[in-house]
A = this chain, B = another copy of it.
Amino acid sequence: MVSLKCWVLLMLVGGVSLLAMWTAAADQPRNAEARRVDTGDAVLVIHGGEYDLPESVGPEDAGPYKQVLRKALEEGYAELRKEKGTSLDAVEAAIRVMEDSPLFNAGRGSVFNHDGHNEMDASIMDGEHKDKFAGAVAGVTIIKNPISAARAVMEHSPHLLLTGRGAENFVMRLKIDQPDLARKLEVRDPRYFWTQSRWDELKKAWAEEDQQSPQGKKEGRAPTPRRHLGTVGAVAVKNGKLAAGTSTGGMTNKWAGRVGDSPIIGAGTYADNRACAVSCTGWGEYFIEYAVAHEIVARVKYRKGCTVEQAADELINDELMKAGKDGAPIEGGAIVLNPKGHFAVTFNAEAKQMNRGYITRDGKASVAVFEDRLPDPK
Protein backbone atom coordinates (compact mmCIF):
# COMPACT_ATOMS: atom_id res chain seq x y z
CA MET A 1 0.00 0.00 0.00
CA VAL A 2 1.47 3.29 -1.10
CA SER A 3 0.65 6.44 0.86
CA LEU A 4 -1.14 9.40 -0.74
CA LYS A 5 1.90 11.65 -0.24
CA CYS A 6 4.08 9.22 -2.10
CA TRP A 7 1.60 8.99 -4.97
CA VAL A 8 1.44 12.74 -5.32
CA LEU A 9 5.24 12.96 -5.35
CA LEU A 10 5.59 10.18 -7.91
CA MET A 11 2.97 11.77 -10.12
CA LEU A 12 4.57 15.17 -9.92
CA VAL A 13 7.99 13.85 -10.83
CA GLY A 14 6.57 11.68 -13.59
CA GLY A 15 4.46 14.50 -14.95
CA VAL A 16 7.28 17.00 -15.02
CA SER A 17 9.67 14.57 -16.68
CA LEU A 18 7.06 13.63 -19.28
CA LEU A 19 6.49 17.29 -20.00
CA ALA A 20 10.21 17.96 -20.28
CA MET A 21 10.76 15.13 -22.71
CA TRP A 22 7.72 16.10 -24.72
CA THR A 23 8.89 19.68 -25.05
CA ALA A 24 12.39 18.59 -26.02
CA ALA A 25 11.06 16.24 -28.67
CA ALA A 26 8.52 18.62 -30.16
CA ASP A 27 10.65 21.71 -29.99
CA GLN A 28 12.42 21.28 -33.31
CA PRO A 29 10.42 23.25 -35.83
CA ARG A 30 11.80 23.52 -39.33
CA ASN A 31 9.99 26.73 -39.99
CA ALA A 32 12.83 28.78 -38.62
CA GLU A 33 11.27 31.96 -39.88
CA ALA A 34 8.31 31.96 -37.55
CA ARG A 35 10.63 31.40 -34.59
CA ARG A 36 13.01 34.14 -35.61
CA VAL A 37 10.43 36.85 -36.15
CA ASP A 38 8.11 36.06 -33.27
CA THR A 39 8.41 39.19 -31.17
CA GLY A 40 5.83 38.13 -28.61
CA ASP A 41 4.11 41.48 -28.92
CA ALA A 42 2.30 41.26 -32.26
CA VAL A 43 -1.21 42.68 -32.36
CA LEU A 44 -2.04 42.05 -36.01
CA VAL A 45 -0.64 39.50 -38.46
CA ILE A 46 -1.74 39.35 -42.11
CA HIS A 47 -1.15 37.23 -45.17
CA GLY A 48 -1.72 37.95 -48.82
CA GLY A 49 -1.62 34.30 -49.82
CA GLU A 50 1.06 32.13 -51.28
CA TYR A 51 2.35 32.02 -54.84
CA ASP A 52 0.32 35.02 -55.79
CA LEU A 53 2.40 36.23 -58.72
CA PRO A 54 1.84 36.04 -62.43
CA GLU A 55 4.98 34.62 -64.02
CA SER A 56 5.83 37.99 -65.53
CA VAL A 57 6.30 39.46 -62.06
CA GLY A 58 9.80 39.40 -60.55
CA PRO A 59 11.35 40.42 -57.24
CA GLU A 60 11.79 43.94 -58.63
CA ASP A 61 8.00 44.31 -58.64
CA ALA A 62 7.72 43.71 -54.91
CA GLY A 63 7.09 47.39 -54.14
CA PRO A 64 3.36 47.62 -54.84
CA TYR A 65 2.65 44.36 -52.97
CA LYS A 66 4.54 45.59 -49.93
CA GLN A 67 2.72 48.90 -50.09
CA VAL A 68 -0.68 47.22 -49.90
CA LEU A 69 0.41 44.94 -47.04
CA ARG A 70 1.77 47.94 -45.15
CA LYS A 71 -1.46 49.87 -45.68
CA ALA A 72 -3.47 46.87 -44.48
CA LEU A 73 -1.40 46.72 -41.29
CA GLU A 74 -1.76 50.45 -40.73
CA GLU A 75 -5.53 50.50 -41.20
CA GLY A 76 -5.96 47.50 -38.94
CA TYR A 77 -3.67 49.06 -36.34
CA ALA A 78 -5.66 52.29 -36.45
CA GLU A 79 -8.76 50.31 -35.43
CA LEU A 80 -6.91 48.71 -32.52
CA ARG A 81 -5.80 52.16 -31.31
CA LYS A 82 -9.38 53.42 -31.09
CA GLU A 83 -10.76 53.17 -27.60
CA LYS A 84 -13.69 51.07 -28.74
CA GLY A 85 -11.84 49.39 -31.58
CA THR A 86 -11.73 45.58 -31.39
CA SER A 87 -9.57 42.85 -32.86
CA LEU A 88 -12.55 42.07 -35.10
CA ASP A 89 -12.45 45.66 -36.43
CA ALA A 90 -8.73 45.31 -37.12
CA VAL A 91 -9.15 42.04 -39.03
CA GLU A 92 -11.95 43.48 -41.14
CA ALA A 93 -10.09 46.73 -41.89
CA ALA A 94 -6.86 44.96 -42.88
CA ILE A 95 -8.64 42.52 -45.17
CA ARG A 96 -10.68 45.29 -46.81
CA VAL A 97 -7.45 46.95 -47.94
CA MET A 98 -6.22 43.76 -49.60
CA GLU A 99 -9.65 43.12 -51.15
CA ASP A 100 -9.58 46.59 -52.68
CA SER A 101 -6.23 45.94 -54.37
CA PRO A 102 -6.17 44.13 -57.73
CA LEU A 103 -2.88 42.47 -56.69
CA PHE A 104 -4.41 39.92 -54.31
CA ASN A 105 -6.82 37.09 -55.07
CA ALA A 106 -9.74 38.48 -53.06
CA GLY A 107 -12.33 41.15 -53.76
CA ARG A 108 -11.23 43.21 -56.75
CA GLY A 109 -8.33 40.95 -57.80
CA SER A 110 -10.29 37.71 -57.59
CA VAL A 111 -9.53 34.96 -60.09
CA PHE A 112 -12.11 33.67 -62.59
CA ASN A 113 -13.98 30.40 -62.42
CA HIS A 114 -14.30 28.09 -65.43
CA ASP A 115 -17.33 30.03 -66.69
CA GLY A 116 -15.43 33.33 -66.64
CA HIS A 117 -17.09 34.66 -63.50
CA ASN A 118 -15.70 35.81 -60.16
CA GLU A 119 -17.20 33.94 -57.22
CA MET A 120 -15.84 35.21 -53.90
CA ASP A 121 -15.79 33.66 -50.43
CA ALA A 122 -15.00 35.11 -46.99
CA SER A 123 -15.41 34.37 -43.30
CA ILE A 124 -14.73 36.10 -40.00
CA MET A 125 -14.73 34.89 -36.39
CA ASP A 126 -14.60 36.42 -32.91
CA GLY A 127 -12.45 34.47 -30.43
CA GLU A 128 -14.77 35.29 -27.56
CA HIS A 129 -17.35 32.59 -27.91
CA LYS A 130 -20.46 34.46 -26.88
CA ASP A 131 -23.74 34.00 -28.72
CA LYS A 132 -23.24 34.50 -32.45
CA PHE A 133 -19.56 34.85 -33.14
CA ALA A 134 -18.86 33.92 -36.75
CA GLY A 135 -20.13 34.83 -40.20
CA ALA A 136 -19.38 33.87 -43.78
CA VAL A 137 -20.42 34.32 -47.40
CA ALA A 138 -19.65 32.08 -50.37
CA GLY A 139 -20.05 32.50 -54.11
CA VAL A 140 -20.82 36.22 -54.08
CA THR A 141 -20.31 38.14 -57.33
CA ILE A 142 -21.14 41.79 -56.68
CA ILE A 143 -19.98 42.50 -53.13
CA LYS A 144 -16.96 44.81 -53.12
CA ASN A 145 -15.77 43.62 -49.68
CA PRO A 146 -16.87 40.06 -48.94
CA ILE A 147 -15.24 40.21 -45.48
CA SER A 148 -17.67 42.98 -44.47
CA ALA A 149 -20.57 40.95 -45.84
CA ALA A 150 -19.37 38.00 -43.71
CA ARG A 151 -19.36 40.25 -40.67
CA ALA A 152 -22.82 41.55 -41.53
CA VAL A 153 -24.12 37.96 -41.73
CA MET A 154 -22.70 37.41 -38.26
CA GLU A 155 -24.12 40.57 -36.74
CA HIS A 156 -27.36 41.15 -38.62
CA SER A 157 -28.76 37.77 -39.68
CA PRO A 158 -29.92 34.70 -37.76
CA HIS A 159 -27.53 32.64 -39.92
CA LEU A 160 -23.80 32.01 -40.17
CA LEU A 161 -23.16 31.15 -43.82
CA LEU A 162 -25.08 32.59 -46.75
CA THR A 163 -24.28 31.66 -50.35
CA GLY A 164 -24.71 33.16 -53.82
CA ARG A 165 -27.79 35.20 -54.62
CA GLY A 166 -29.13 34.66 -51.10
CA ALA A 167 -26.07 36.38 -49.63
CA GLU A 168 -26.32 39.22 -52.13
CA ASN A 169 -30.01 39.78 -51.47
CA PHE A 170 -29.26 39.91 -47.75
CA VAL A 171 -26.63 42.59 -48.29
CA MET A 172 -28.93 44.63 -50.54
CA ARG A 173 -31.76 44.44 -48.04
CA LEU A 174 -29.49 45.41 -45.18
CA LYS A 175 -28.24 48.47 -47.09
CA ILE A 176 -31.82 49.64 -47.47
CA ASP A 177 -32.99 48.79 -43.93
CA GLN A 178 -29.91 50.14 -42.16
CA PRO A 179 -28.37 52.96 -44.20
CA ASP A 180 -25.62 53.45 -41.60
CA LEU A 181 -24.20 50.08 -42.65
CA ALA A 182 -24.27 50.88 -46.34
CA ARG A 183 -20.82 52.47 -46.41
CA LYS A 184 -19.09 49.17 -45.65
CA LEU A 185 -21.38 47.09 -47.86
CA GLU A 186 -20.69 48.54 -51.27
CA VAL A 187 -22.00 46.73 -54.31
CA ARG A 188 -20.29 46.72 -57.71
CA ASP A 189 -21.03 45.40 -61.18
CA PRO A 190 -19.21 42.15 -61.89
CA ARG A 191 -17.07 44.22 -64.27
CA TYR A 192 -15.34 45.88 -61.27
CA PHE A 193 -13.75 42.51 -60.47
CA TRP A 194 -12.49 41.96 -64.02
CA THR A 195 -8.70 42.32 -64.28
CA GLN A 196 -6.57 41.59 -67.32
CA SER A 197 -4.00 39.49 -65.48
CA ARG A 198 -6.61 37.16 -63.95
CA TRP A 199 -8.36 36.88 -67.30
CA ASP A 200 -5.05 35.91 -68.92
CA GLU A 201 -4.61 33.23 -66.26
CA LEU A 202 -8.03 31.80 -67.05
CA LYS A 203 -7.33 31.78 -70.78
CA LYS A 204 -4.07 30.00 -70.11
CA ALA A 205 -5.87 27.40 -67.99
CA TRP A 206 -8.43 26.91 -70.77
CA ALA A 207 -5.64 26.45 -73.33
CA GLU A 208 -3.82 23.92 -71.16
CA GLU A 209 -7.04 22.02 -70.68
CA ASP A 210 -7.69 21.89 -74.41
CA GLN A 211 -4.15 20.76 -75.10
CA GLN A 212 -4.34 17.98 -72.52
CA SER A 213 -7.58 16.69 -73.95
CA PRO A 214 -8.54 17.89 -77.45
CA GLN A 215 -11.30 15.30 -77.35
CA GLY A 216 -12.44 16.69 -74.02
CA LYS A 217 -12.68 20.16 -75.48
CA LYS A 218 -15.03 18.98 -78.19
CA GLU A 219 -17.13 17.03 -75.74
CA GLY A 220 -17.11 19.69 -73.09
CA ARG A 221 -15.32 17.54 -70.51
CA ALA A 222 -15.03 18.63 -66.91
CA PRO A 223 -12.57 21.49 -66.37
CA THR A 224 -9.28 21.21 -64.51
CA PRO A 225 -8.91 23.97 -61.93
CA ARG A 226 -5.50 25.55 -61.52
CA ARG A 227 -4.34 26.13 -58.01
CA HIS A 228 -3.73 29.81 -58.32
CA LEU A 229 -3.64 31.01 -54.76
CA GLY A 230 -3.35 34.40 -53.11
CA THR A 231 -6.11 34.29 -50.55
CA VAL A 232 -5.84 37.08 -47.97
CA GLY A 233 -6.30 36.83 -44.23
CA ALA A 234 -5.69 38.47 -40.88
CA VAL A 235 -5.52 37.57 -37.18
CA ALA A 236 -5.52 40.18 -34.43
CA VAL A 237 -5.54 40.51 -30.65
CA LYS A 238 -6.57 43.26 -28.24
CA ASN A 239 -6.58 42.77 -24.47
CA GLY A 240 -6.34 39.02 -24.93
CA LYS A 241 -9.32 38.93 -27.28
CA LEU A 242 -8.68 37.34 -30.66
CA ALA A 243 -10.28 37.54 -34.09
CA ALA A 244 -9.56 35.93 -37.45
CA GLY A 245 -10.74 36.45 -41.02
CA THR A 246 -10.07 35.15 -44.52
CA SER A 247 -11.18 36.27 -48.00
CA THR A 248 -10.58 34.79 -51.45
CA GLY A 249 -11.55 34.50 -55.09
CA GLY A 250 -10.70 30.79 -54.95
CA MET A 251 -8.92 28.90 -57.73
CA THR A 252 -8.58 29.93 -61.35
CA ASN A 253 -10.81 27.76 -63.54
CA LYS A 254 -12.64 26.31 -60.51
CA TRP A 255 -16.06 24.88 -61.25
CA ALA A 256 -19.01 27.21 -60.84
CA GLY A 257 -20.38 26.82 -57.31
CA ARG A 258 -17.13 25.42 -55.89
CA VAL A 259 -16.47 26.51 -52.32
CA GLY A 260 -13.01 26.21 -50.76
CA ASP A 261 -11.81 26.49 -47.19
CA SER A 262 -11.84 30.28 -46.82
CA PRO A 263 -15.55 30.70 -45.94
CA ILE A 264 -15.60 27.53 -43.84
CA ILE A 265 -15.28 28.18 -40.11
CA GLY A 266 -12.94 25.44 -38.87
CA ALA A 267 -11.17 25.00 -42.20
CA GLY A 268 -9.86 28.40 -43.39
CA THR A 269 -10.65 30.47 -40.31
CA TYR A 270 -10.94 29.86 -36.56
CA ALA A 271 -10.47 31.87 -33.38
CA ASP A 272 -10.71 30.86 -29.73
CA ASN A 273 -9.47 33.14 -26.94
CA ARG A 274 -8.45 30.06 -24.95
CA ALA A 275 -5.98 29.02 -27.67
CA CYS A 276 -5.28 31.07 -30.81
CA ALA A 277 -6.64 32.67 -33.97
CA VAL A 278 -5.88 31.14 -37.37
CA SER A 279 -6.25 32.21 -41.02
CA CYS A 280 -5.18 29.79 -43.75
CA THR A 281 -4.27 29.82 -47.41
CA GLY A 282 -3.66 26.80 -49.59
CA TRP A 283 -5.34 24.01 -51.49
CA GLY A 284 -8.85 24.50 -50.12
CA GLU A 285 -10.18 20.96 -50.58
CA TYR A 286 -7.44 19.51 -48.37
CA PHE A 287 -7.73 22.33 -45.86
CA ILE A 288 -11.40 21.43 -45.38
CA GLU A 289 -10.62 17.70 -45.06
CA TYR A 290 -7.97 18.34 -42.42
CA ALA A 291 -10.09 21.06 -40.75
CA VAL A 292 -6.77 22.90 -40.61
CA ALA A 293 -7.75 26.03 -38.65
CA HIS A 294 -9.68 24.12 -36.00
CA GLU A 295 -7.06 21.36 -35.86
CA ILE A 296 -4.36 23.92 -35.01
CA VAL A 297 -6.60 25.38 -32.28
CA ALA A 298 -7.33 21.87 -30.93
CA ARG A 299 -3.62 20.98 -30.71
CA VAL A 300 -2.82 24.20 -28.86
CA LYS A 301 -5.77 23.59 -26.54
CA TYR A 302 -5.36 19.90 -25.81
CA ARG A 303 -1.68 19.07 -26.23
CA LYS A 304 0.33 20.14 -23.24
CA GLY A 305 2.96 22.75 -24.04
CA CYS A 306 2.10 22.85 -27.73
CA THR A 307 2.90 26.33 -29.04
CA VAL A 308 1.13 27.99 -31.95
CA GLU A 309 4.29 27.46 -33.96
CA GLN A 310 4.55 23.74 -33.24
CA ALA A 311 0.88 23.15 -33.98
CA ALA A 312 1.07 24.89 -37.36
CA ASP A 313 4.46 23.41 -38.18
CA GLU A 314 3.47 19.76 -37.61
CA LEU A 315 0.31 20.02 -39.63
CA ILE A 316 1.52 22.18 -42.50
CA ASN A 317 5.13 21.03 -42.86
CA ASP A 318 4.68 17.36 -41.93
CA GLU A 319 1.18 16.15 -42.57
CA LEU A 320 0.09 18.28 -45.52
CA MET A 321 3.41 17.62 -47.26
CA LYS A 322 2.33 14.01 -47.78
CA ALA A 323 -1.46 14.35 -47.81
CA GLY A 324 -2.01 14.31 -51.58
CA LYS A 325 -2.44 11.52 -54.07
CA ASP A 326 0.23 8.84 -53.51
CA GLY A 327 1.76 11.00 -50.77
CA ALA A 328 2.15 14.10 -52.94
CA PRO A 329 2.66 17.39 -51.10
CA ILE A 330 -0.27 19.77 -50.58
CA GLU A 331 0.75 23.41 -50.61
CA GLY A 332 -0.47 25.77 -47.95
CA GLY A 333 0.22 28.02 -45.06
CA ALA A 334 -1.34 29.69 -42.05
CA ILE A 335 -0.91 32.62 -39.74
CA VAL A 336 -1.53 31.87 -36.08
CA LEU A 337 -1.64 34.31 -33.16
CA ASN A 338 -2.17 33.61 -29.47
CA PRO A 339 -3.74 35.95 -26.89
CA LYS A 340 -0.31 36.98 -25.58
CA GLY A 341 0.92 38.23 -28.95
CA HIS A 342 3.06 35.25 -29.95
CA PHE A 343 2.54 34.28 -33.55
CA ALA A 344 3.61 31.91 -36.30
CA VAL A 345 3.76 32.49 -40.04
CA THR A 346 4.01 28.98 -41.45
CA PHE A 347 4.02 27.88 -45.07
CA ASN A 348 5.42 24.68 -46.47
CA ALA A 349 8.00 24.02 -49.17
CA GLU A 350 5.27 23.32 -51.72
CA ALA A 351 3.77 26.76 -51.13
CA LYS A 352 7.20 28.24 -51.78
CA GLN A 353 6.33 31.73 -50.63
CA MET A 354 3.73 33.74 -48.80
CA ASN A 355 3.00 37.46 -48.77
CA ARG A 356 2.90 38.42 -45.14
CA GLY A 357 3.32 41.03 -42.46
CA TYR A 358 2.78 41.88 -38.83
CA ILE A 359 2.61 44.92 -36.58
CA THR A 360 3.58 45.10 -32.92
CA ARG A 361 1.93 46.72 -29.93
CA ASP A 362 4.00 49.87 -30.42
CA GLY A 363 3.19 50.14 -34.11
CA LYS A 364 6.34 48.66 -35.66
CA ALA A 365 5.29 47.09 -38.97
CA SER A 366 7.17 44.48 -41.01
CA VAL A 367 6.16 43.07 -44.38
CA ALA A 368 7.66 40.54 -46.75
CA VAL A 369 6.75 39.16 -50.17
CA PHE A 370 8.15 36.68 -52.68
CA GLU A 371 11.32 35.02 -51.48
CA ASP A 372 12.02 37.55 -48.73
CA ARG A 373 12.01 36.69 -45.11
CA LEU A 374 10.39 38.90 -42.53
CA PRO A 375 13.06 41.30 -41.26
CA ASP A 376 14.28 40.60 -37.77
CA PRO A 377 12.73 43.24 -35.49
CA LYS A 378 15.84 43.45 -33.32
Contact = CB atoms under 8 A, between A and B. Distances in A.
A265 interface: yes
Interface stretch (A42-50, A283-291, A366-374): A283-291
Q: Taking the full assembly, how many copies of this chain does it contain?
A: 2
Interface of A: 7, 10-15, 17-18, 125, 129, 131-134, 138-139, 157-167, 169-170, 173, 177, 220-222, 224-225, 254-260, 264-267, 270, 284-285, 288-291, 294-295, 298-299, 302-303, 323-326
17 contacts: A10-B13, A14-B15, A129-B323, A132-B325, A133-B289, A138-B259, A159-B225, A159-B258, A160-B285, A161-B288, A162-B259, A163-B163, A165-B256, A177-B221, A265-B289, A295-B298, A302-B303
Contacts of A284: 160
A133 to B, nearest CB: 6
A62 B170 CA distance: 40
B291 A161 contact: no
Contact of A222 (B14, B157, B294): B157
Contacts of A133: 289
A258 B161 contact: yes
Contacts of A266: 264, 266-267, 288, 291, 294
A257 B17 contact: no
Question: Which secondary structure dominates chain A's binding surface?
Answer: mixed
Central interface residue in A169, A256, A260, by most chain B CB within 10 Å:
A256
List the 5 closest A-B pairs by CB distance, nearest first: A14-B14, A166-B257, A298-B298, A302-B302, A266-B291
A11 B7 contact: no
Given A131-B325, A170-B255, A265-B267, A285 B159 contact: yes
A30 B138 CA distance: 39
A153 B180 CA distance: 41
A61 to B, nearest CB: 31
Contacts of A255: 157-159, 162, 166, 170
Contacts of A12: 14
A327 B266 CA distance: 23
A159 B254 CA distance: 8
A287 B159 CA distance: 12
Central interface residue in A138, A173, A270, by most chain B CB within 10 Å:
A138
Central interface residue in A162, A255, A299, by most chain B CB within 10 Å:
A255
A163 B134 contact: no
Contacts of A265: 264, 267, 288-289, 291
A301 to B, nearest CB: 8
Contact of A10 (B10, B166, B256): B10
Contacts of A15: 14, 18
Contacts of A295: 294, 298
